[in-house]
């Protein structure tokens, strides 16, 4: 069977299944064969469903908008009944299998998605790359010496390779948007509380979110329609949208007030390709009728970085303790940077942690004030054009880890701290043909506006014909 995902998105193929022009089982078998073949090069999927587990997954899929579409779920922040959630860690690799689906996963199944495996992630999602010691490095389909980014790099790699049209991804500091940028995909991080994390309460003081990466804008919009909404007892919720997110992709966004920035105060100047990408995108937005000007919010970058580090370290320590249920990590059970982060977290006082959370909230107020004057903030997604394997080191000191981390998250992590939605859209390219994502941030609850703008940009400057050398 030909690879329909080479040219069609998930919603288009689901329509072929619903109208019986394509057999669901035939599509599934052919997709699994291609996934296995491409995974030999990418190392993007850690576990394939087989036998009874696969049959139960097929039976659990509903007749929703994604009817019959194969799908993988990241090994982080989401449980799938019958499989262990390893968090990319050797220490949790032998955990008992999950007894039930997470709320979002159950909703994915009801939407018609057939879960066929779990995708690779960095250990606990700490690194903006996907090179865990447990399971090994995922490589980019664009070039095999590059990382697809992380921590949702496994999902991004298989979608970029056209083995799947859409896949699950999570985001605690940029982990949807970073691999979307480096792989030439669309990726949107929803507002805090838009998608339930149940049975979890929150992650990283509310910084964590989940959705997916996709080739088309409308697939991500339909996925958000399928899994959005809180669950009983959730600590956060976002006001409901005025309509469906898929409908938002089918209407113009109107004339938006867009600010753009391509500099980082006190940091090394950005690569000229990133600056050019922002300026070209700003020009395109102006041509589309939007009001565009250079501006940026007044934020305390040093305070934000310290606060995020505090929250990350404290959560890493506590989450290991809770999940381990009394087990103590032995030598080699955790990667060096993970262990050192947890050790740092064990020494953080309640006062220091609360002050860090207050910095999150203060930053949210400052960003909220900025969005009274503008609808959108544009920047690069990542402060580098590509990510060679081994750049972000998890096998040494915290200083070495942080050195690789710093250029990856300066534009993305503020959205996690403040809970606002943001998306990476593949609108620029390096001279040697690698994708560069442009980052668009909106006010809390503004996913409809972001999807409308993304669809407008997709129509004006389609990226779907640009494909990596390695394809399924």
How far apart are the C-alpha atoms of 67 and 61, rounded to whole Å? 7
119, 122, 155, 175: which one is catalytic?
A: 175
CB 166 within 8 A of CB 220: yes
How far apart are the C-alpha atoms of 335 and 99, rounded to whole Å? 28
57, 74, 102, 214: which one is catalytic?
A: 74
Question: Is residue 336 annotated as a catalytic residue, yes or no?
Answer: no
CB 78 within 8 A of CB 121: no
Question: Is residue 74 annotated as a catalytic residue, yes or no?
Answer: yes
Question: Is residue 175 annotated as a catalytic residue, yes or no?
Answer: yes
57, 102, 119, 151: which one is catalytic?
A: 151
Residues known to be catalytic: 74, 151, 175
């Amino acid at each position: 069977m030909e690879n329909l995902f080479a040219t069609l998105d998930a919603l288009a193929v689901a329509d072929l299944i619903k109208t019986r022009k394509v057999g669901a089982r035939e599509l599934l078998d052919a997709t699994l064969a291609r996934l296995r073949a491409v995974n030999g090069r990418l190392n993007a999927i850690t576990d394939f469903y087989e036998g009874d587990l696969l049959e139960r997954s097929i039976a659990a899929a509903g007749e929703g908008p994604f009817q019959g579409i194969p799908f993988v779920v990241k090994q982080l922040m989401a449980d799938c009944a019958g499989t262990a959630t390893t968090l990319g860690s050797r220490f949790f690799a032998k955990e008992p299998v999950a007894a039930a689906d997470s709320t979002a996963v159950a909703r994915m199944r009801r939407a018609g998605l057939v879960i066929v495996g779990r995708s690779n992630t960095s250990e606990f999602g700490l690194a903006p790359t996907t090179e865990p010691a447990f399971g090994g490095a995922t490589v980019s389909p664009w070039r095999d010496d590059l990382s697809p980014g992380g921590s949702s790099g496994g999902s991004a790699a298989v979608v970029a390779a056209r083995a799947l049209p859409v896949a699950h991804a999570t985001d605690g500091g940029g982990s949807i948007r970073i691999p979307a940028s480096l792989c030439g995909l669309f990726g949107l991080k929803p507002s805090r509380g838009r998608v339930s994390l149940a049975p979890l309460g929150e992650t990283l003081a509310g910084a964590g979110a989940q959705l997916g990466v996709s080739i088309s804008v409308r697939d991500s919009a339909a996925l958000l329609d399928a899994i959005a909404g809180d669950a009983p007892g959730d600590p956060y919720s976002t006001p409901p949208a005025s309509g469906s997110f898929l409908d938002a992709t089918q209407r113009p966004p109107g004339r938006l007030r867009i600010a753009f920035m391509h500099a980082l105060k006190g940091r090394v100047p950005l690569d000229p390709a990133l600056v050019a990408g922002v300026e070209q995108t700003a020009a395109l937005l102006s041509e589309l009728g939007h009001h565009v000007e250079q501006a940026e919010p007044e934020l305390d970058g040093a305070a934000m970085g310290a606060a995020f580090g505090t929250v990350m370290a404290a959560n890493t320590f506590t989450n290991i303790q809770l999940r381990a249920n009394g087990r103590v990590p032995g030598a080699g059970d955790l990667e060096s940077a993970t262990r050192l982060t947890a050790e740092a977290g064990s020494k953080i006082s309640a006062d220091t942690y609360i002050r860090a959370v207050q910095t999150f909230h203060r930053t949210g107020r400052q960003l909220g004030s900025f969005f009274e004057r503008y609808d959108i903030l544009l920047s690069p997604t990542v402060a580098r054009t590509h990510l060679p394997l081994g750049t972000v080191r998890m096998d040494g000191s915290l200083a070495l880890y942080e050195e690789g981390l710093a250029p990856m998250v300066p534009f993305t992590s503020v959205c996690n701290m403040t809970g606002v939605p943001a998306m990476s859209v593949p609108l620029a390219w390096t001279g040697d043909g690698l994708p560069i994502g442009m980052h668009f941030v909106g006010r809390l609850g503004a996913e409809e506006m972001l999807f409308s703008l993304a669809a407008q940009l997709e129509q004006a400057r389609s990226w779907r014909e640009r494909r990596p050398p390695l394809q399924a």
